[in-house]
Structure 1
């Protein structure tokens, strides 16, 4: 379900939009270079909500980059937009088997990484990315799930943004239906899969904040409010 985009009423009774600054810290639009990558990647992301997952992960990656002066957004952000394109080459009925908390299937994970490298290389070449940028981006994609350790700061941010999505409200909603879990169980699963596996301080802070929201969303006190 899409987030609420328009109001259903104006309880204040008068317009206020003209008093809101056009630019505010932390609020952004996708940059033209990234939008070009997204438009070519998006057809390969229509598997198990990977399209929405990817744009949320992009936002999280931007936030982490802003907290890491040595990060290179020119590597991180194209990489996060392309990291899961390879799932399009795995039969959809097998995708959840690959990532199941019951054990998973490492060979399917490796397959999606290899196919992601192939697809990402073609997309980046078609957009005229420099060979050295392509090499670093696809190197990150090649092990973004299968290697737990981070090879570089840029790699760490891609891994962290990818994981953090699970704790977002959209991530919890998605995981509930993936595995037939109620909201509280999905929140526990996602927090278990995230909290001890992120690499940057910014991601650890974001993970705690998102886990707090997930906790309250499933809390009886909140549920009772309707």
Structure 2
């Protein structure tokens, strides 16, 4: 998949406006990864190179950070490490079992549960190596162990991890990924994703975000947009 552009291809205005930009710290939603989460990411990423789980995790982290902003009562010191670690367990399963577990032709609950258990085990090892306190390790691994199979949310922190995980599917990267997983057109992928997201979210903030992501996604496929190139 093509990486998002980081630099312009031209400057139609013809003038340098960079000195007139506000300070990034004063703008909502431009924070990126927190410094204290980088060691967790660096330890976890080797376990995430399965079916784009690495990129999925990075986007889900950003979504989780936004949901934490909207829920200041949440503990982002639990939510954000849990988000980084939640899918590490897929690295312990054969690659063909990953898609079989989530395919629209039928689910494989045993593989889903196994990746949660393996993920909790990997998460505990990483967090202990990084010196996390026992109580926080327990909170994070409890979220990882059940983030897909558990139908209810155990806490707000758990709900935000679950919601962020699902919301990624509606992002452009999520839709591109699902298209190639199952050989679907963009509209078909959007239908499959929508059926698995909107009615399965726990927070109002996530439901609002899902509607916004879906509104953008559907326009990407309508003829009024596609004819424009």
Counterpart of 1:118 in structure 2 is 121
TM-score normalised by the chain length of structure 2: 0.97
| Runs of at least 5 residues in structure 2 that lack an aligned partner in the other structure | none
CA distance in 2, matches of 1:148, 1:22: 42
Post-superposition shift, 1:93? 1.5
After the TM superposition, list the runs of 4 or more consecutive aligned residues in structure 1 that deviate by more than 4 angstroms.
Answer: none
Counterpart of 1:146 in structure 2 is 149
TM-score normalised by the chain length of structure 1: 0.99
What is the number of residues matched between the two proteins?
226
Counterpart of 2:52 in structure 1 is 49
Post-superposition shift, 1:29? 2.4
CA distance in 2, matches of 1:208, 1:12: 34
CA distance in 2, matches of 1:25, 1:70: 18
CA distance in 2, matches of 1:29, 1:189: 29
CA distance in 1, matches of 2:37, 2:117: 22
Deviations 1:117-172 (A, max 9, x none): 11000000011101000000000000000011101100000000000000000000
Counterpart of 2:224 in structure 1 is 221
| Runs of at least 5 residues in structure 1 that lack an aligned partner in the other structure | none
CA distance in 2, matches of 1:98, 1:120: 21
Counterpart of 1:2 in structure 2 is 3
What's the secondary structure of 1:181's corresponding residue?
coil
Post-superposition shift, 1:32? 1.4
RMSD: 0.7
What's the secondary structure of 1:21's corresponding residue?
coil
Deviations 1:76-111 (A, max 9, x none): 000000000000000012110011111110000011
User: Aligned ranges for residues 127-138 of structure 1 at < 5 Å?
Assistant: 127-138=130-141
Post-superposition shift, 1:22? 2.2
CA distance in 1, matches of 2:75, 2:111: 29
What's the secondary structure of 2:220's corresponding residue?
helix
1:200 maps onto 2:196 in alignment: no
